[in-house]
Amino acid sequence: MGHYLFDIENKFNKNFALHHDSSLQVRAIRTINVLRFILSLTFILFYLSIGQLSLGDKENPDLFFSLSLAYAFFSICLLVITPLKSSAVIFFHPVQIVIDIFFIVLMMHAAGGVQSGLGLLLIISIVTASLVSNGRLALFYAAIATIGLLLEQSYQIARWDLQPSTYTQPVILGLSCFATAWLAYILAKRILQSEALASARSIDLENLAQVNALITQEIQDGVIVVDEDFNVRHHNVQAQLLLGLKAQRLEIFPLADCAAEINLAFKHWISHGDSENHAIININHRELKLRFEPINHQDHRQGAVVFIQDWSLIQSASQQAKLAALGRLTANIAHEIRNPLSAISHANQLLQEEEQNSASNVRMLEIIADNIQRIEQIIKDVLELNRRDRTQQEKIHLDQFLVDFHHQFCAVEKIPLAHFSLTLPDKDDVITFDQRHLTQILWNLCKNGWEHSQKQAGSLHLKCVKISESILNLEIIDDGLGVDERDRSKLFEPFYTTKTTGNGLGLYISRELAEANNAYLNYHSPGAGSAFILQLKNIH
C-alpha cells in the first residue's frame, strides 16, 4: 500500500513538473514571438529609412521589403494563434524555427549575401530555440542554417561568377552555428539537471515542513519560536491554549504583547545561558514550565524554541500516580486491619456486658468502641476510594431523587426539615450517574455543611441551578464561618481535616467519585458561609 501511494505521488510530481515545464516553454515561445515581431518591424523601418539606397548589384531592396512584410505577417499570426493553441505551440515550435531560418537566409540574400551581417541572426535564433526546447534539435537547427547559408552562397557564386574561396565566410558562420548549438545544448542540459535537483529539493523541503508542522501541532507541549528581536514567528495550538492567545492577524507578533512573563524569562536565559534553561512562571492562573532550546548554540541571542509545559498537570499526574500507589497500599492494609479490628470490637462488646465493671472501666470501654468505629469508617472510606472506577451509571430523575434524599438525610441525621431547605430542578431533568455514588457525595457534603452551620432554620440549603441545556449545578450552601482562604487549596487533599474527629477523606472521596461520573466538584465562597458546587454534565 505504501509503495502504491509512493508511485502515485511520484507520478503526480512528474506530471506537475511536466505541466510546469510546459507552461514555461509556452511563455518563452510567446516572448520569442514578440521579439520576432520587433525584428520584422526593424527590417521594415530599416528599408523605409535607408533601404532604397542600393549600394551594389547584389542587393535587392524590393525583395527585402517584401520579405520583411511577409515576416511581419508571419509574426502577427503567431502572436494571435499562440494564446489560443498553447498546447500545439510547443509541438509546432521546430517548424517556426525552420521558417525563421528560411526568412533570415532570404533577407540576407536580398541584403547582399553573407557580407550583409544578417547571418548573425541565425546564431541568435538557434540559441533561443535550443534553450526553449531544452537543448533538443539544437544541432538540427544548426544543420538547417548551415545548409541555407551554403545554398545561398552557391547561388551567389553561380550568378555572379565568384571564386570558390568565397565559401569561407558561410563555412565559418555555419561552424559558429554548430558550436553555438552544441554550447546551447550543454547549457540546457545543465539547466534541466539543476531544475530537477531544485524541484526534488523543494519537494523534500515541503514534505519536511509538513512533517514538522504536524509534529509541532500534535505535540502535547506548547511550542513557540522566538527570533532575535523577541518576536513570535511560530506557535502551535497548545501554546495558544496555554497562553490564552487570540487568533493573530499577523504571523509575527511581539512576545511581550502576548506573554510578558515569558519575554522576561527569555531575556534572563539569554543573559545566563544554559544554567537558566528551565523556568516556572504563572500565566492565567496556571504554573507553566519553560524550556529553551537555542536556534544557534554558538549565539543564544539569535533566537530560541520555547517548549511550554503545564506544570500543574504534571504535578497532578504525579500526585495521581502516587495516590494510586498509596490507594493500593492502604487497601491492602485495610484488609489486614479489618480482621484484628473485628476481634477487638467483639472482645470489647463482651467486656461491656460484664456487670461488675466500674464507672471508669465503662468509660474506657466506650472510648475503645468509639475509636473502633472511627477506624472502621476509615477502612470503609479507603475501600470505597479504590472502587471509584466501578461505576454503575443509570438514568436518574433528579427531582424525585432529591426529595427522597432530603427526607432520608433529615431522618438519619435528625435534622428538622425547616433547617434544611431544598430547591428542586425541573421535573424533566434526567441525569446519568451512579445512584450510590451520588448519594454518598451529597451525604458527605450535606453532613459537612450541617456540622459547620449555625444549625438554625435555613442554615443548610440544597438548590439546583440550570447553567445550560446540558449542564446543571447542585449547590450545597451553609451559613457557617466558611473556609479560611489559606486552607481552600487543601480542601480536597486526602487526610486533610480541620476537625479533631475527622479523617480527611470525605471531600477527597466526593471529588473522586464525581470525576468518575463525568462531574466536577468545587468549592465557592459566597461571602458568608460556604458553598460546594457539584457540576453535572450528563443532563437529558
Q: What is the pLDDT of residues 234-287, one digit of tens each?
A: 888 888 878 877 665 456 788 888 788 888 888 888 887 665 667 778 777 677
pLDDT over threshold 80, residue 514 = yes
Task: Express as a percent the part of the chain with pLDDT over 70.
Answer: 83
Three-state DSSP state, 295? coil
pLDDT over threshold 80, residue 14 = no
Q: How confident is the model at residue 218 (pLDDT cuts 50, 70, 90)?
A: confident
Cell of 312: 500543574
Q: How far apart are CA 100 and CA 293, in angstroms?
A: 63
Three-state DSSP state, 52? coil
- Average pLDDT score over the chain: 80
Strand partners, 420: 460
Strand partners, 390: none
Number of Cβ within 10 Å of residue 445's Cβ equals: 25
Cell of 152: 545561398
pLDDT over threshold 60, residue 5 = no
Q: How far apart are CA 254 and CA 237, in angstroms?
A: 18
E-state strands within 402-443: 420-423, 430-433
Q: Greatest CA separation found in the chain?
A: 162
Q: How far apart are CA 67 and CA 54, in angstroms?
A: 17
Q: How far apart are CA 119 and CA 124, in angstroms?
A: 9
First to last CA, the chain: 45
Q: Which of 125-139, 228-242, 300-314, 430-444 is the most confident on average?
A: 430-444
Q: What is the pLDDT of residue 148?
A: 92
Q: Are 170 and 152 in contact (CB under 8 A)?
A: yes
**Chain centroid to CA 510:** 38
What is the helix (H) or strand (E) element at residue 308, kind and residue range? strand 303-310
Arithmetic mean of pLDDT, 184-205: 86
pLDDT tens per residue across span 43-93: 888 888 875 545 456 688 888 889 999 999 999 988 888 777 666 667 788
**Chain centroid to CA 151:** 69
Q: Are 483 and 530 in contact (CB under 8 A)?
A: yes
Q: How far apart are CA 336 and CA 523, in angstroms?
A: 35
Bigger pLDDT: 368 vs 318? 368
Q: What is the pLDDT of residue 6?
A: 36
Q: What is the pLDDT of residue 128?
A: 86
The angle, 0 to 180 degrees and rounded to 10, between the axes of the packed helices 435-452 and 506-516 is 150
Give residue 60's identity as a one-letter amino acid code: N
Q: What is the pLDDT of residue 18?
A: 39
* Residues listed for the chain: 540
The conformation of residue 539, written as its DSSP 8-state character, comes to B
Q: What is the signed CA dihedral for 111, 114, 118, 124, rounded to 10 degrees?
A: 160
Average the pLDDT over each of 6-15, 339-348, 353-362, 442-451 and give the range with the smallest value: 6-15
Handedness of CA 178, 180, 182, 188 (dihedral sign): negative
Question: How far are the Cα atoms of 44, 53, 58, 148, 166 from residue 113, in angstroms, in the given order?
Answer: 18, 16, 8, 11, 11
Arithmetic mean of pLDDT, 217-223: 78
Average the pLDDT over each of 152-161, 238-247, 331-340, 380-389 and give the range with the smallest value: 380-389
Nearest one of 410, 434, 430 to 420, comparing CA atoms:
410
**Residue 65, CA atoms < 13 Å, CB-side half-sphere:** 12
Cell of 183: 554550447
Arithmetic mean of pLDDT, 496-514: 73
Mapping DSSP onto H, E and C, the string for 485-520 reads: HHHHHHCCCCCCCCCCCCCCCHHHHHHHHHHHCCCE
Bigger pLDDT: 452 vs 21? 452
Phi, psi for residue 45 in degrees, rounded to 5: -65, -35
Q: How confident is the model at residue 17 (pLDDT cuts 50, 70, 90)?
A: very low
CATH fold group of domain 394-536: Heat Shock Protein 90 (3.30.565)
Three-state DSSP state, 232? strand
Phi, psi for residue 253 in degrees, rounded to 5: -150, 155
pLDDT tens per residue across span 462-492: 988 888 777 888 999 998 888 877 777 777 7
Where are the alpha helices (H) located in 237-355, listed in sequence order?
237-243, 255-258, 260-272, 311-352
Nearest one of 23, 16, 13, 164 to 82, comparing CA atoms:
23
pLDDT tens per residue across span 286-338: 778 888 888 887 787 888 888 888 876 776 677 667 666 766 776 777 777 87
Arithmetic mean of pLDDT, 189-214: 83
> The whole model's pTM is what?
0.43
CATH class of 221-312: alpha beta
Burial of 398 (0-12, 13-18, 19+ CB in 10 A): buried
Task: List Cβ neighbours of 124 (8 Å cut-off, separation of 6 or more).
Answer: none
pLDDT over threshold 80, residue 381 = no
pLDDT over threshold 70, residue 24 = no
Give residue 537's identity as a one-letter amino acid code: K
Cell of 137: 534539435
| DSSP-based helix, strand, coil % in the chain, nearest 5 | 65, 15, 20
Arithmetic mean of pLDDT, 443-461: 88
Nearest one of 390, 393, 386 to 537, comparing CA atoms:
393
